[in-house]
């Protein structure tokens, strides 16, 4: 099997969706990134997971090489419909969905609406903001300002104030791809963090899986984990104690250790 990743496009839910494929011999895993993370920026995770899974990483609409245009619709409902449409178009079943941040919220909404093709959920630090709840801790300006820098042409060093813990390689990749994030899409997603009631989906989840929270990101707090435990008892829980919201960037080894422990596979470099 070709070990090199490659990209491809699928027409689903009426739009063009781009994915990166990290081929593996195991069960299929669809990775859903966060609000300003094109698929390629998750390549280091896809390559590691491909030891045990056949990994596909989605460029959400308005990001990377997927459909994007001014004034586009890029709400939580639209993105969840894209995921379900993709599974149908590809005739995939029993897929593991791994979602980070916004991608985790999309995975929850998709599984709550139609779990028929979804075998397992791996939810990484989903924002728990929503109507009547505390706000998401990262302001919209943090995203928009960095995107506008990237559109003008920026360097890894210029982006360091936005992500001071990241490596030079991680920042270079972000500087290369951040310009592909559509400002309208990012704005809608950020507003959705506060307007969409993701908690109403949790009691409807019938898909088992894992909820991983960052210990220092302030996106999920102990009381949020307790609420998830009540509303979605089918999700096991773990905490990456020393990491911020971008768990695999902050502590790659701990991320793979916790994920591997749950999946009962070895994801660590020895």
Per residue in 89-99, pLDDT (tens digit) is: 999 999 999 99
**What mean pLDDT, rounded, does the chain reach?**
96
How many Cβ atoms sit within 10 Å of the Cβ of residue 216?
14
Domains along the chain with CATH numbers: 6-133+196-263 (3.40.50.1820)
pLDDT of residue 61: 98
pLDDT of residue 3: 64
The whole-angstrom separation of Cα 114 and Cα 117 is 8
Residue 270 pLDDT > 80:
no
Residue 260 pLDDT > 50:
yes
Mean per-residue pLDDT for 109-116? 96
Residue 239 to residues 54, 123, 211, 255: CA-CA distances in angstroms?
26, 12, 8, 10
Paired with 209 in beta bridges are: 121, 235
pLDDT in tens, 63-94: 999 999 999 999 999 999 999 999 999 999 99
Of 4 and 15, the structure prediction assigns the larger pLDDT to 15
Residue 2 pLDDT > 70:
no
The whole-angstrom separation of Cα 79 and Cα 193 is 13
Mean per-residue pLDDT for 13-18? 98
pLDDT of residue 4: 82
Percent over 70 (pLDDT), the chain:
99
Mean per-residue pLDDT for 115-141? 97
């Amino acid at each position: 099997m070709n070990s090199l990743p490659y990209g491809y496009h699928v027409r689903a839910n009426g739009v063009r969706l781009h994915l990166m494929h990290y081929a593996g011999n195991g069960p299929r895993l669809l990775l859903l990134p966060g609000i300003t993370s094109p698929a390629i920026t998750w390549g280091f995770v896809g390559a590691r997971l491909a030891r045990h899974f056949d990994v596909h990483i989605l460029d959400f609409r308005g990001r990377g090489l997927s459909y994007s245009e001014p004034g586009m619709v890029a709400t939580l409902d639209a993105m969840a419909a894209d995921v379900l449409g993709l599974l149908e178009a590809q005739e995939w079943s029993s897929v593991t969905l791994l979602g980070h941040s916004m991608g985790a919220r999309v995975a929850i909404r998709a599984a709550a609406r139609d779990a028929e093709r979804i075998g397992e959920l791996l939810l990484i630090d989903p924002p728990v903001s929503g109507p009547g709840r505390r706000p998401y801790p990262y302001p919209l300006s943090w995203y928009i300002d960095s995107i506008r820098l990237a559109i003008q042409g920026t360097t890894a060093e210029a982006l360091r104030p936005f992500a001071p813990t990241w490596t030079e390689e991680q920042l270079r990749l972000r500087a290369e791809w951040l310009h592909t994030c559509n400002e309208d899409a990012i704005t809608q997603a950020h507003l959705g963090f506060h307007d969409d009631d993701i908690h109403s989906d949790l009691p409807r989840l019938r898909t088992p899986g894992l909820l991983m929270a960052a210990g220092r990101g302030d996106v999920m707090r102990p009381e949020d984990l307790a609420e998830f435990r009540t509303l979605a008892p089918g999700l096991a829980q773990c905490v990456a104690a020393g990491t911020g919201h971008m768990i695999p960037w902050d502590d790659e080894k701990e991320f793979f250790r916790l994920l591997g422990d749950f999946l009962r596979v070895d994801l660590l470099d020895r």
